[in-house]
Amino acid sequence: MSVLNLPYTGGVPTLNSTKTLFDSTVSDQLGGRPMQAVGYKRYKASFKNDQPFTLKAYASSDNGVTWAQFAERYVPPSTTREMNNYEFNLDQHRHLKVTLVQGTAQGAGFYLGQSLTDDLNPAGSGSDAYDYIVNGDMETDITGPALKVGPNGQVTFFIQTTATDAPEGQLRVLGSMDGARFVELPSATAKLPAAGALAAQNIAVELEVNVDLVKLSWDNTSAGTGTGALLNVQARSR
Q: SS3 for 113-172, per residue? A: EEEEECCCCCCCCCCCCCCCEEEEECCCCEECCCEECCCCEEEEEEEEEECCCCCEEEEE
Query: Whole-angstrom Cα distance, residue 98 to residue 7?
Result: 13
CATH of the domain at 220: 2.60.120.680
Please tell me whether residues 152 and 67 are part of one structural domain.
no
* Mean pLDDT confidence for 188-201: 81
Partner residues linked to 5 by β-bridges: 115
Please tell me whether residues 104 and 158 are part of one structural domain.
no
Please tell me whether residues 145 and 58 are part of one structural domain.
no
**Structural domain boundaries, residue 80:** 3-117
* Mean pLDDT confidence for 215-228: 71
Query: pLDDT band at 114, cuts 50/70/90?
Result: very high
Q: What is the tens place of the pLDDT at every residue in 134-171?
A: 556 667 777 777 777 776 777 877 777 776 666 788 88
CATH of the domain at 87: 2.60.120
Q: Are 150 and 158 in contact (CB under 8 A)?
A: no
Query: pLDDT band at 124, cuts 50/70/90?
Result: very low
Final residue in a domain of this structure, among 117, 152, 183: 117
Q: Report the amino acid identity of residue 53.
A: F
Other beta carbons within 10 angstroms of residue 140's beta carbon come to 12
Q: What is the tens place of the pLDDT at every residue in 25-79?
A: 998 888 888 877 788 888 889 999 999 898 898 988 888 999 988 777 778 888 7
Is 226 part of a structural domain of the chain?
Answer: yes
Burial of 80 (0-12, 13-18, 19+ CB in 10 A): exposed
Inform me whether the pLDDT recorded for 2 exceeds 60. Answer: yes
Please tell me whether residues 174 and 138 are part of one structural domain.
yes
